[in-house]
Amino acid sequence: MSEGCGIVDPDAPEPSEKKRWYMNEKPQREGMYEPTPHEHCANILTHGIAILPSLIIMQVLMSASHRELQYYIMIIYGIATILLFAMSTAYHLAEYLYRPHQSTGFSRKLRYYLHLMDRSTIYFFIAASATPWLALRHCALLGKNLKWIVWVSAILGISYQFKFHERYKTLETVLYFIVSAIPYLGMITMSDRTGLPLMLLGGAVYAIGVVFFKLDGVVPFAHAIWHVHVLLGASIHTYAIYATLLGPDKYNPFPEVDFD
């Protein structure tokens, strides 16, 4: 996941900036931040280390599912989580390998489209993270409708990325906040609110991380710190799903299902 180190136009020339090992200068308003090589490595590692565990945890969630709806929702959630960390890692690896040296037309376009996919995957992950709560818990009318609205919002957000990628950075951040907040409106209508405090805690971790998301060039390794917050927030939400949403549902009992 990336904010400042993006590409607005893949055909534009590279900017020239004064470089330091721990942090470069803050970009101009709506400009691109140039991470140092050390920051690039930190950006790669802080999400790269989550790919393999995400694959394992997806299998754990699927195995813990008690009925088909839980099982298929865990597949969606698992895929979204894997893609979130994989696309982020792929993009930052491309940034490290090709920016600013060896900046050919191909490498710039590669970085541009990886960044575009990285940003779009965030919307997919937000919707996939909300779906277990809105679909597996009994909610009032608002919650029942929001499980579809959150996916429509994610699709609109992805469409926005393809049309206006990196043009209005502050607006992009606001859109992420809005789409992320939508599910919480439905969660407060759940008949069983077990696990909701963990969801709120994870949301708070994400929100704190956004502060660092906007501090490239101000705080050294700010983007890697944001990545750590994403990793922690996703871990808290995943544990909440595993501990409180999977298994027999006392409000909607089903016989145990064997998926082996």
- List all residues 6 or more positions away from 139 whose beta carbon is below 8 Å from its beta carbon: 146, 147, 186, 187, 189, 190, 191
Distance CA 95, CA 92 (A): 5
- List all residues 6 or more positions away from 241 whose beta carbon is below 8 Å from its beta carbon: 61, 74, 77, 132, 133, 195
Is there a binding annotation on residue 227?
yes
Distance CA 247, CA 255 (A): 10
Is there a binding annotation on residue 115?
no
Owner of token pair 């690896």:
93
Is there a binding annotation on residue 101?
no
Task: State which amino acid sits at residue 73.
Answer: I
The whole-angstrom distance between residue 92's C-alpha and the CA centroid of its chain comes to 14
Q: What are phi and psi of 152, to 5 degrees?
A: -60, -45
* Closest residue by Cα to residue 198 from 227, 226, 238: 238
Joined together, the tokens standing for residue 178 give 């809005």
* Closest residue by Cα to residue 173 from 186, 157, 162: 157
Cβ pair 129, 236 in contact under 8 A: no
Q: Which residues are annotated as a binding site?
A: 92, 223, 227
Q: Which residues are annotated as a binding site for Zn(2+)?
A: 92, 223, 227
